[in-house]
Amino acid sequence: MTSRQRFLAACACQPLERPPLWVMRQAGRYLPEYRALKEKSSFLQMVRTPELALEVTLQPLRRFPGIDAAILFSDILVIPEALGQPYAFRDTGGIAMAHRIDSRAAVEALAPAEAVGEKLHYVPAALRLIRSELGGAKALLGFGGSPWTLASYMVEGGSSADFARIKTLFYTDRALFDALLGKLSDALITYFRIQIAAGADAIQIFDSWGGILAGPDYEAASLRWIRQIIAALPADFPVILYTKGGSPHLAAQAASGARVLGVDWTIELPKIRQTLPRTVAVQGNLDPILMQTSPEIVARETTRLLDSMRDQAPGHILNLGHGITPQARLECMQALVETVTTYK
Ligand SMILES: Cc1c2[nH]c(c1CCC(=O)O)Cc1[nH]c(c(CCC(=O)O)c1C)Cc1[nH]c(c(CCC(=O)O)c1C)Cc1[nH]c(c(C)c1CCC(=O)O)C2
Protein backbone atom coordinates (compact mmCIF):
# COMPACT_ATOMS: atom_id res chain seq x y z
CA MET A 1 0.00 0.00 0.00
CA THR A 2 1.38 3.44 -0.89
CA SER A 3 1.47 6.33 1.56
CA ARG A 4 -1.15 8.05 -0.54
CA GLN A 5 -3.50 5.08 -0.37
CA ARG A 6 -2.95 4.85 3.39
CA PHE A 7 -3.71 8.52 3.82
CA LEU A 8 -6.90 8.43 1.74
CA ALA A 9 -8.03 5.24 3.50
CA ALA A 10 -7.66 6.98 6.88
CA CYS A 11 -9.69 9.96 5.59
CA ALA A 12 -12.39 7.44 4.58
CA CYS A 13 -12.30 5.77 8.04
CA GLN A 14 -11.14 2.43 6.63
CA PRO A 15 -9.24 0.05 8.94
CA LEU A 16 -5.42 0.22 8.70
CA GLU A 17 -2.51 -1.57 10.40
CA ARG A 18 -1.07 1.79 11.37
CA PRO A 19 -2.19 5.39 10.86
CA PRO A 20 -0.62 7.60 8.18
CA LEU A 21 1.72 10.31 9.47
CA TRP A 22 2.42 13.91 8.59
CA VAL A 23 3.40 16.87 10.76
CA MET A 24 1.96 20.38 10.72
CA ARG A 25 4.72 22.83 9.67
CA GLN A 26 6.87 19.84 8.65
CA ALA A 27 8.73 22.14 6.24
CA GLY A 28 10.16 24.86 8.42
CA ARG A 29 12.77 26.34 10.64
CA TYR A 30 13.70 23.19 12.62
CA LEU A 31 15.25 21.81 9.37
CA PRO A 32 18.87 22.94 8.67
CA GLU A 33 18.23 22.65 4.92
CA TYR A 34 15.28 25.05 5.26
CA ARG A 35 17.39 27.55 7.20
CA ALA A 36 20.13 27.26 4.54
CA LEU A 37 17.66 28.08 1.78
CA LYS A 38 16.34 31.02 3.77
CA GLU A 39 19.82 32.56 3.82
CA LYS A 40 19.37 33.10 0.09
CA SER A 41 15.62 33.72 -0.32
CA SER A 42 13.02 35.30 1.90
CA PHE A 43 10.02 33.32 3.09
CA LEU A 44 7.76 35.20 0.67
CA GLN A 45 10.12 34.57 -2.26
CA MET A 46 10.06 30.87 -1.46
CA VAL A 47 6.26 30.91 -1.32
CA ARG A 48 5.96 32.79 -4.63
CA THR A 49 8.51 30.80 -6.64
CA PRO A 50 7.10 27.37 -7.60
CA GLU A 51 10.55 25.72 -7.89
CA LEU A 52 11.51 26.94 -4.40
CA ALA A 53 8.13 26.01 -2.93
CA LEU A 54 8.61 22.54 -4.46
CA GLU A 55 12.07 22.22 -2.93
CA VAL A 56 10.95 23.28 0.56
CA THR A 57 7.85 21.05 0.39
CA LEU A 58 10.03 18.03 -0.38
CA GLN A 59 12.75 18.71 2.23
CA PRO A 60 11.03 16.91 5.13
CA LEU A 61 10.12 13.93 2.90
CA ARG A 62 13.71 13.52 1.75
CA ARG A 63 15.03 13.54 5.29
CA PHE A 64 12.18 11.44 6.69
CA PRO A 65 10.92 9.18 3.86
CA GLY A 66 8.42 7.55 6.25
CA ILE A 67 6.18 10.65 6.23
CA ASP A 68 3.02 9.81 4.28
CA ALA A 69 1.94 13.24 3.02
CA ALA A 70 3.47 16.41 1.61
CA ILE A 71 1.86 19.78 2.35
CA LEU A 72 2.21 22.66 -0.08
CA PHE A 73 4.70 25.21 1.21
CA SER A 74 2.76 28.45 1.40
CA ASP A 75 0.89 30.59 3.92
CA ILE A 76 -2.72 31.26 4.82
CA LEU A 77 -2.12 35.02 4.38
CA VAL A 78 -1.72 34.81 0.59
CA ILE A 79 -5.51 35.22 0.44
CA PRO A 80 -5.66 38.67 2.11
CA GLU A 81 -2.68 39.59 -0.02
CA ALA A 82 -4.46 38.57 -3.23
CA LEU A 83 -7.46 40.66 -2.12
CA GLY A 84 -5.23 43.74 -1.77
CA GLN A 85 -3.92 43.60 1.80
CA PRO A 86 -0.23 42.57 1.78
CA TYR A 87 1.61 41.33 4.87
CA ALA A 88 5.09 41.22 6.33
CA PHE A 89 6.82 39.72 9.35
CA ARG A 90 7.50 41.88 12.40
CA ASP A 91 11.13 41.89 13.56
CA THR A 92 9.87 40.97 17.01
CA GLY A 93 7.94 37.96 15.64
CA GLY A 94 4.36 37.81 14.41
CA ILE A 95 2.57 39.25 11.41
CA ALA A 96 2.03 42.85 10.33
CA MET A 97 -0.62 43.50 7.67
CA ALA A 98 0.04 46.56 5.50
CA HIS A 99 -3.13 48.23 6.79
CA ARG A 100 -6.20 47.39 8.82
CA ILE A 101 -9.66 46.52 7.51
CA ASP A 102 -11.60 48.92 9.73
CA SER A 103 -14.57 50.23 7.73
CA ARG A 104 -17.13 49.36 5.08
CA ALA A 105 -15.02 51.31 2.58
CA ALA A 106 -12.02 49.10 3.41
CA VAL A 107 -14.07 45.91 2.87
CA GLU A 108 -15.47 47.27 -0.39
CA ALA A 109 -11.99 48.22 -1.58
CA LEU A 110 -10.88 44.58 -1.43
CA ALA A 111 -10.51 42.90 -4.83
CA PRO A 112 -13.32 40.59 -5.97
CA ALA A 113 -13.00 36.96 -4.87
CA GLU A 114 -12.03 35.89 -8.41
CA ALA A 115 -8.77 37.86 -8.06
CA VAL A 116 -7.23 34.88 -6.23
CA GLY A 117 -7.23 32.97 -9.53
CA GLU A 118 -4.90 35.37 -11.26
CA LYS A 119 -2.89 36.69 -8.27
CA LEU A 120 -2.07 33.25 -6.86
CA HIS A 121 -1.03 31.59 -10.13
CA TYR A 122 2.13 30.37 -8.35
CA VAL A 123 0.07 28.08 -6.10
CA PRO A 124 -1.32 25.71 -8.76
CA ALA A 125 2.07 25.89 -10.50
CA ALA A 126 3.80 24.68 -7.31
CA LEU A 127 1.17 21.99 -6.70
CA ARG A 128 1.59 20.61 -10.22
CA LEU A 129 5.37 20.44 -9.76
CA ILE A 130 4.99 18.67 -6.40
CA ARG A 131 2.40 16.26 -7.79
CA SER A 132 4.66 15.29 -10.66
CA GLU A 133 7.61 14.71 -8.27
CA LEU A 134 5.52 12.61 -5.89
CA GLY A 135 3.62 10.68 -8.53
CA GLY A 136 1.11 8.55 -6.69
CA ALA A 137 3.49 7.64 -3.88
CA LYS A 138 2.59 10.27 -1.27
CA ALA A 139 -0.56 12.20 -0.50
CA LEU A 140 -0.48 15.91 -1.34
CA LEU A 141 -2.26 18.40 0.89
CA GLY A 142 -3.41 21.87 -0.04
CA PHE A 143 -4.63 24.27 2.62
CA GLY A 144 -6.06 27.64 3.52
CA GLY A 145 -7.13 29.59 6.59
CA SER A 146 -10.73 29.65 7.76
CA PRO A 147 -12.59 32.88 6.97
CA TRP A 148 -12.65 33.72 10.70
CA THR A 149 -8.91 33.17 11.11
CA LEU A 150 -8.08 35.26 8.03
CA ALA A 151 -10.52 38.00 9.06
CA SER A 152 -8.86 38.21 12.46
CA TYR A 153 -5.47 39.03 10.87
CA MET A 154 -7.12 41.45 8.43
CA VAL A 155 -9.15 43.38 11.01
CA GLU A 156 -6.54 43.30 13.78
CA GLY A 157 -3.86 44.42 11.29
CA GLY A 158 -1.69 41.41 12.17
CA SER A 159 -1.07 39.09 15.11
CA SER A 160 -3.14 40.01 18.13
CA ALA A 161 -3.11 39.33 21.86
CA ASP A 162 -6.81 39.81 22.58
CA PHE A 163 -8.64 39.88 19.20
CA ALA A 164 -10.48 42.98 20.44
CA ARG A 165 -11.01 44.55 17.01
CA ILE A 166 -12.40 41.51 15.21
CA LYS A 167 -14.62 40.60 18.18
CA THR A 168 -15.88 44.19 18.42
CA LEU A 169 -16.73 44.12 14.71
CA PHE A 170 -18.54 40.80 15.18
CA TYR A 171 -20.60 42.07 18.14
CA THR A 172 -21.35 45.59 16.89
CA ASP A 173 -21.68 45.47 13.09
CA ARG A 174 -22.81 42.02 12.01
CA ALA A 175 -23.69 43.19 8.50
CA LEU A 176 -20.14 44.40 7.83
CA PHE A 177 -18.64 41.33 9.52
CA ASP A 178 -20.79 39.10 7.28
CA ALA A 179 -19.80 41.07 4.18
CA LEU A 180 -16.11 40.47 4.92
CA LEU A 181 -16.56 36.80 5.82
CA GLY A 182 -18.75 36.23 2.75
CA LYS A 183 -16.06 37.66 0.51
CA LEU A 184 -13.39 35.51 2.15
CA SER A 185 -15.55 32.40 1.81
CA ASP A 186 -16.02 33.05 -1.91
CA ALA A 187 -12.28 33.61 -2.35
CA LEU A 188 -11.51 30.37 -0.48
CA ILE A 189 -13.96 28.36 -2.59
CA THR A 190 -12.20 29.60 -5.74
CA TYR A 191 -8.79 28.96 -4.18
CA PHE A 192 -9.57 25.41 -3.01
CA ARG A 193 -11.09 24.48 -6.39
CA ILE A 194 -7.86 25.65 -8.02
CA GLN A 195 -5.79 23.56 -5.59
CA ILE A 196 -7.93 20.48 -6.21
CA ALA A 197 -7.63 20.90 -9.99
CA ALA A 198 -3.82 21.18 -9.60
CA GLY A 199 -3.54 17.83 -7.81
CA ALA A 200 -4.28 18.23 -4.09
CA ASP A 201 -5.59 14.98 -2.54
CA ALA A 202 -7.04 16.74 0.49
CA ILE A 203 -7.40 20.28 1.84
CA GLN A 204 -6.72 21.31 5.41
CA ILE A 205 -8.65 24.33 6.68
CA PHE A 206 -6.68 26.08 9.43
CA ASP A 207 -9.40 27.43 11.72
CA SER A 208 -6.54 28.38 13.98
CA TRP A 209 -8.39 31.02 16.02
CA GLY A 210 -11.75 29.21 16.22
CA GLY A 211 -10.93 28.21 19.79
CA ILE A 212 -11.36 31.73 21.16
CA LEU A 213 -15.15 31.70 20.63
CA ALA A 214 -17.92 29.80 22.43
CA GLY A 215 -20.90 27.83 21.03
CA PRO A 216 -23.31 30.10 19.12
CA ASP A 217 -20.61 32.71 18.45
CA TYR A 218 -18.35 30.03 16.99
CA GLU A 219 -21.21 28.95 14.75
CA ALA A 220 -21.95 32.49 13.55
CA ALA A 221 -18.37 33.72 13.23
CA SER A 222 -16.62 30.64 11.90
CA LEU A 223 -18.36 27.31 11.39
CA ARG A 224 -21.22 28.47 9.14
CA TRP A 225 -18.69 29.88 6.67
CA ILE A 226 -16.64 26.70 6.73
CA ARG A 227 -19.76 24.61 6.03
CA GLN A 228 -20.56 26.84 3.09
CA ILE A 229 -17.04 26.38 1.68
CA ILE A 230 -17.04 22.59 2.08
CA ALA A 231 -20.49 22.34 0.47
CA ALA A 232 -19.12 24.12 -2.61
CA LEU A 233 -16.28 21.60 -3.10
CA PRO A 234 -16.68 18.30 -4.98
CA ALA A 235 -18.87 15.86 -3.01
CA ASP A 236 -16.82 13.66 -0.66
CA PHE A 237 -13.56 15.49 -1.31
CA PRO A 238 -11.49 15.05 1.90
CA VAL A 239 -11.37 18.24 3.95
CA ILE A 240 -9.45 18.29 7.25
CA LEU A 241 -10.71 20.90 9.69
CA TYR A 242 -8.19 21.92 12.34
CA THR A 243 -8.99 24.26 15.22
CA LYS A 244 -6.48 25.03 17.95
CA GLY A 245 -8.31 24.84 21.26
CA GLY A 246 -11.30 23.53 19.35
CA SER A 247 -12.26 20.47 21.39
CA PRO A 248 -15.50 22.12 22.64
CA HIS A 249 -16.51 22.51 18.98
CA LEU A 250 -15.80 18.97 17.76
CA ALA A 251 -19.41 17.74 17.94
CA ALA A 252 -20.60 20.72 15.87
CA GLN A 253 -17.67 20.39 13.48
CA ALA A 254 -18.55 16.73 12.88
CA ALA A 255 -21.63 17.97 10.98
CA SER A 256 -19.68 20.50 8.87
CA GLY A 257 -18.98 18.17 5.98
CA ALA A 258 -15.31 17.86 6.98
CA ARG A 259 -14.12 14.25 6.66
CA VAL A 260 -11.33 14.67 9.24
CA LEU A 261 -11.19 16.78 12.41
CA GLY A 262 -7.77 17.97 13.59
CA VAL A 263 -7.48 17.86 17.37
CA ASP A 264 -4.94 19.69 19.56
CA TRP A 265 -3.07 18.00 22.42
CA THR A 266 -5.32 19.19 25.27
CA ILE A 267 -7.81 16.33 25.03
CA GLU A 268 -7.43 12.54 24.88
CA LEU A 269 -7.90 11.33 21.32
CA PRO A 270 -9.70 8.00 22.09
CA LYS A 271 -12.38 9.93 24.01
CA ILE A 272 -12.93 12.12 20.98
CA ARG A 273 -12.96 9.14 18.62
CA GLN A 274 -15.72 7.55 20.72
CA THR A 275 -17.98 10.60 20.63
CA LEU A 276 -17.72 11.24 16.88
CA PRO A 277 -19.68 9.54 14.09
CA ARG A 278 -17.77 6.61 12.55
CA THR A 279 -17.71 8.42 9.22
CA VAL A 280 -15.55 11.25 10.60
CA ALA A 281 -11.81 10.64 11.07
CA VAL A 282 -9.56 12.37 13.63
CA GLN A 283 -6.09 13.84 13.19
CA GLY A 284 -3.55 14.45 15.94
CA ASN A 285 -2.59 14.95 18.62
CA LEU A 286 0.86 14.80 20.23
CA ASP A 287 2.04 17.85 22.16
CA PRO A 288 4.46 19.72 19.82
CA ILE A 289 6.75 20.42 22.78
CA LEU A 290 7.53 16.69 22.91
CA MET A 291 9.65 17.29 19.82
CA GLN A 292 11.99 19.43 21.92
CA THR A 293 12.58 16.66 24.50
CA SER A 294 14.34 13.38 23.62
CA PRO A 295 13.87 10.52 21.13
CA GLU A 296 13.07 8.15 24.02
CA ILE A 297 10.28 10.35 25.31
CA VAL A 298 8.88 10.86 21.80
CA ALA A 299 8.92 7.10 21.16
CA ARG A 300 7.22 6.41 24.49
CA GLU A 301 4.47 9.02 24.05
CA THR A 302 3.88 8.10 20.39
CA THR A 303 3.52 4.42 21.32
CA ARG A 304 1.12 5.41 24.07
CA LEU A 305 -1.02 7.33 21.57
CA LEU A 306 -0.91 4.47 19.03
CA ASP A 307 -1.85 1.92 21.71
CA SER A 308 -4.71 4.09 22.94
CA MET A 309 -6.17 4.26 19.41
CA ARG A 310 -5.63 0.58 18.53
CA ASP A 311 -9.07 -0.67 19.56
CA GLN A 312 -10.95 2.43 18.54
CA ALA A 313 -13.09 2.75 15.43
CA PRO A 314 -10.91 3.29 12.32
CA GLY A 315 -10.06 6.74 11.02
CA HIS A 316 -6.91 8.26 12.51
CA ILE A 317 -4.16 10.37 10.92
CA LEU A 318 -1.20 10.75 13.24
CA ASN A 319 0.09 14.31 13.65
CA LEU A 320 1.08 16.79 16.32
CA GLY A 321 -1.66 18.82 17.99
CA HIS A 322 -0.24 22.00 16.41
CA GLY A 323 2.74 23.00 14.27
CA ILE A 324 6.24 21.71 15.01
CA THR A 325 8.36 24.46 16.59
CA PRO A 326 11.69 25.87 15.33
CA GLN A 327 13.29 24.41 18.49
CA ALA A 328 12.29 20.81 17.63
CA ARG A 329 15.16 18.29 17.50
CA LEU A 330 15.77 16.24 14.34
CA GLU A 331 16.34 13.14 16.51
CA CYS A 332 12.86 13.58 17.94
CA MET A 333 11.29 13.82 14.49
CA GLN A 334 13.25 10.69 13.51
CA ALA A 335 11.91 8.86 16.58
CA LEU A 336 8.34 9.91 15.73
CA VAL A 337 8.63 8.64 12.14
CA GLU A 338 10.28 5.37 13.19
CA THR A 339 7.79 4.66 15.95
CA VAL A 340 4.79 5.17 13.68
CA THR A 341 6.14 3.37 10.61
CA THR A 342 7.32 0.29 12.55
CA TYR A 343 4.25 0.06 14.79
CA LYS A 344 2.69 -3.40 14.96
C1 LIG B 1 -1.76 31.46 11.53
C2 LIG B 1 -1.05 30.85 10.34
C3 LIG B 1 -0.13 31.48 9.49
N4 LIG B 1 0.27 30.56 8.55
C5 LIG B 1 -0.37 29.37 8.77
C6 LIG B 1 -1.23 29.54 9.87
C7 LIG B 1 -2.18 28.53 10.39
C8 LIG B 1 -1.47 27.42 11.07
C9 LIG B 1 -1.44 27.46 12.54
O10 LIG B 1 -2.49 27.33 13.16
O11 LIG B 1 -0.33 27.54 13.07
C12 LIG B 1 -0.27 28.14 7.98
C13 LIG B 1 1.04 27.71 7.45
N14 LIG B 1 2.21 28.41 7.41
C15 LIG B 1 3.18 27.64 6.81
C16 LIG B 1 2.60 26.43 6.38
C17 LIG B 1 3.35 25.46 5.50
C18 LIG B 1 2.98 24.09 5.43
C19 LIG B 1 3.47 23.23 6.58
O20 LIG B 1 4.64 22.80 6.54
O21 LIG B 1 2.66 22.92 7.46
C22 LIG B 1 1.26 26.45 6.81
C23 LIG B 1 0.20 25.39 6.69
C24 LIG B 1 4.57 27.99 6.59
C25 LIG B 1 5.17 29.03 7.43
N26 LIG B 1 4.61 30.23 7.78
C27 LIG B 1 5.52 30.94 8.48
C28 LIG B 1 6.72 30.21 8.60
C29 LIG B 1 8.00 30.68 9.25
C30 LIG B 1 8.65 31.63 8.31
C31 LIG B 1 10.14 31.75 8.53
O32 LIG B 1 10.87 30.95 7.90
O33 LIG B 1 10.56 32.61 9.29
C34 LIG B 1 6.51 29.01 7.93
C35 LIG B 1 7.51 27.90 7.70
C36 LIG B 1 5.29 32.32 8.99
C37 LIG B 1 4.00 32.57 9.62
N38 LIG B 1 2.81 32.60 8.96
C39 LIG B 1 1.80 32.83 9.87
C40 LIG B 1 2.40 32.96 11.16
C41 LIG B 1 1.65 33.23 12.45
C42 LIG B 1 3.78 32.81 10.99
C43 LIG B 1 4.86 32.87 12.04
C44 LIG B 1 5.35 34.28 12.20
C45 LIG B 1 6.51 34.30 13.19
O46 LIG B 1 7.48 33.58 12.99
O47 LIG B 1 6.42 35.08 14.15
C48 LIG B 1 0.37 32.88 9.54
Per-residue pLDDT of 223-246, as tens digits, reads 999 999 999 999 999 999 999 999
pLDDT band at residue 136 under the 50/70/90 scheme: very high
For residue 181, CA distances in Å to 82, 164, 174, 207, 239 come to: 15, 17, 10, 13, 19
CATH of the domain at 284: 3.20.20.210
Q: Compute the distance from residue 15 Cα to the ligand 1 centre, in Å.
A: 32
Mark 112-146 as b/e (b = at least 16 C-beta within 10 Å). Answer: ebebbbebbebbbbbbebbbebbeeebbbbbbbbb
pLDDT band at residue 2 under the 50/70/90 scheme: very high
192 Rama class: left (phi>0) / alpha (psi -120 to 50) / beta? alpha
Pick the residue whose CA is nearest to atom 21 on ligand 1.
Answer: 25
pLDDT of amino acid 289: 98
Pick the residue whose CA is nearest to atom 41 on ligand 1.
Answer: 94
Residues whose beta carbon lies within 6 Å of some atom of ligand 1: 24-29, 38, 43, 71, 73, 75-77, 89, 93-95, 143, 206, 208, 244, 323
Q: Compute the distance from residue 88 Cα to the ligand 1 centre, in Å.
A: 12
pLDDT band at residue 49 under the 50/70/90 scheme: very high
Q: Compute the distance from residue 16 Cα to the ligand 1 centre, in Å.
A: 31
| Pocket-testing residue among 26, 29, 48, 75, ligand 1, by greatest number of atoms within 8 A of Cβ | 75
Q: Compute the distance from residue 25 Cα to the ligand 1 centre, in Å.
A: 7
What would you report as the CA-atom Rg of the chain, rounded to the nearest whole angstrom?
A: 19
What pLDDT digit, counting tens, does each position of 249-269 carry? Answer: 999 999 999 999 999 999 999
pLDDT of amino acid 5: 98
- Measure CA 89 to chain center: 19
CB 85 within 8 A of CB 148: no
Could you give the count of Cα atoms lying within 13 Å of 21 in the half-sphere of its Cβ?
A: 25
Q: How many angstroms separate the CA atoms of 189 and 88, rounded? A: 25
Q: How many angstroms separate the CA atoms of 229 and 247, rounded? A: 21
What average pLDDT score do residues 152-175 get? 97
ipTM, two decimals, is: 0.92
- Name the average pLDDT for the chain: 97
pLDDT of amino acid 6: 98
pLDDT of amino acid 254: 98
Pick the residue whose CA is nearest to atom 15 on ligand 1.
Answer: 75
What average pLDDT score do residues 150-175 get? 97
Pick the residue whose CA is nearest to atom 28 on ligand 1.
Answer: 28
Pick from 72, 24, 30: nearest CA to 50:
72
Pick the residue whose CA is nearest to atom 27 on ligand 1.
Answer: 75
Residue 40 sits in which domain range?
A: 3-341
Pick from 316, 307, 299: nearest CA to 261:
316
CB 328 within 8 A of CB 271: no
pLDDT band at residue 341 under the 50/70/90 scheme: very high
pLDDT of amino acid 278: 97
Q: How many domains is the chain built from?
A: 1
pLDDT of amino acid 242: 98
Q: Compute the distance from residue 264 Cα to the ligand 1 centre, in Å.
A: 17
CA dihedral sign of residues 189, 202, 143, 57: negative
What average pLDDT score do residues 162-170 get? 98
What average pLDDT score do residues 86-95 get? 93
pLDDT of amino acid 162: 96
pLDDT band at residue 308 under the 50/70/90 scheme: very high
Q: How many angstroms separate the CA atoms of 44 and 160, rounded? A: 21
292 Rama class: left (phi>0) / alpha (psi -120 to 50) / beta? alpha
pLDDT band at residue 156 under the 50/70/90 scheme: very high
Closest-lying ligand 1 atom to the alpha carbon of residue 145: 7
Q: Compute the distance from residue 94 Cα to the ligand 1 centre, in Å.
A: 10
User: Binding site residues for substrate, as ranges?
Assistant: 25-29, 75, 153, 208, 322
